Homo-oligomer: A and B are copies of this chain.
Amino acid sequence: MKHIPVPESKNPRLIIIGGGFAGIKLVKRLAKAPLQIVLFDRNNYHTFQPLLYQVATAGLEPDSIADPLRKQLEPVKNFFFRMAEVYSVDPGSQTIQTEIGEMSYDYLVIATGSKTNYFGNESIMANAFPLKQIPQALDLRSHILQNFEAATITDDPEKLESMMNIAIVGGGPTGVEVAGALGELKKNILPSDYPELDFDQMNITLLEGTPRLLGAMSEFASRKALKYLKKFDVHVQLNTLVTSYDGTVAKLSNGDEIKTQTLIWAAGVQGNFPDGINDGSVERGRLVVDEYSKVKGYENIYAIGDIAVMKSKEFPYGHPMLAPVAIQQGDHLAENLKRTFKGKPLKPFTYKDKGSMATVGRNKAVVDMGKLRFGGLFAWMIWMFVHLISIIGFRNRLIVFSNWVWNYFTYDKGTRLIIRRFIPRHRNNHKE
């Protein structure tokens, strides 16, 4: 395999796989460390995943939630970026194998995040819309808009039903947020865009397998979210699973069916890492790490973010797969690497829970923060503030903010554009 060139360096080489929250934080905190840092990502940009659903629902364009990795990390000395998918790791020779060749490392950090989990259901994998990457969000947006265009000219009432209905599977934050955003589209935008269609015929259904929404949050948040979704005319079905989906009809565990050409799959994620790591270091698709983020059984391989499972008394199954955990682990690992170089003792990781939140739509969100639980307008403002300050890149913050102000005052969403028509045979062609 071809050797990937990078400039010579006297410093040891740290390879990081993945430019998500964890990887970016780690690079930035190692800005002055005696290392040559090489970051691999299959995209040339970082994705701010918490707002991906707004790209799918015509609220934002990709540039609002994506930031070029090279630009973002330019100030870091000894930093190099290589755009490539990493296929495998060979811990024996200390190399990684990628689509553009191979490279050796002194330290390796796996920060590859998670991908959609279909739990082995092939009909769903083949026909549902996942929502983990920007091209997937753009495809979903195009598909929904194309369906409404097609609905204006169909004379088949069954087809019309399946074109107008949308089902979302998974009542976590992504499912709740995308359902709420679609409810807003139905209420404020679609009826004037498509005067020839009757939007009372459009059903938005959110399906959740457990007895409550937002299972990781408080009972209060679950109740409020359910109430808010009803206001946005979203039907919520709890304790319900989807057993199969052929692209037109979703079969449910209670025997019901939903006719829909749009099934959005937000029901689960799983680890996503290159080949070559010993099976003994893997648990339920994630990499087992110690409290220093070191992967079990290896001396110079680390894992941070969604891909890592770090068990503790407080988190017997590992931490939640959330951005704040990834950011804190990136920060913490950088600190420990610097300590290593200085011969100082390492510090174990402790997660500082800053609370969790989800938005449903205009003026409506829920927040759990320590023992505080609240909803409504104030929660919504906190949600917006926290997301705005968390977006990577100042330009992105400005653009998202301008878009939100515009959407708020005009009840408009500017990006209902079908830039590339979605063609069903390309469904799920974006490898995760």
Interface residues of A (CB under 8 A from B): 4-7, 43-45, 61-63, 66, 68, 70-71, 74, 80, 82-83, 100-101, 134-135, 138, 145-146, 149, 152-153, 155, 192-194, 196, 393, 395-396, 398-399, 402-403, 406, 410, 412, 414-420
Contact = CB atoms under 8 A, between A and B. Distances in A.
Contact of A155 (B5, B62, B135, B152): B5
A133 to B, nearest CB: 10
B63 A414 contact: yes
A153 B4 contact: yes
A141 to B, nearest CB: 11
B412 A402 contact: no
Contacts of A145: 44
B44 A417 contact: yes
Where chain A touches its partner, the secondary structure class is mixed
B155 A45 contact: no
Nearest to A6: B196
30 contacts: A4-B153, A5-B155, A6-B196, A44-B145, A44-B416, A44-B417, A45-B417, A45-B419, A61-B63, A62-B419, A63-B414, A63-B417, A66-B419, A71-B412, A74-B192, A74-B193, A82-B153, A83-B149, A83-B418, A100-B153, A101-B153, A135-B419, A135-B420, A393-B414, A395-B410, A395-B412, A396-B414, A399-B399, A399-B403, A402-B402
A417 B71 CA distance: 11
Closest 7 CB pairs of A and B: A61-B61, A70-B193, A63-B415, A61-B63, A83-B149, A395-B414, A44-B418
Contacts of A418: 43-45, 83
Given A82-B153, A138-B419, A395 B406 contact: yes
A369 to B, nearest CB: 32
A66 B420 contact: no
A248 B416 CA distance: 37
A114 to B, nearest CB: 21
A260 to B, nearest CB: 21
Given A192-B74, A412-B71, A416-B68, A153 B61 contact: no
Nearest to A430: B420
Given A44-B417, A418-B43, A196 B134 contact: no
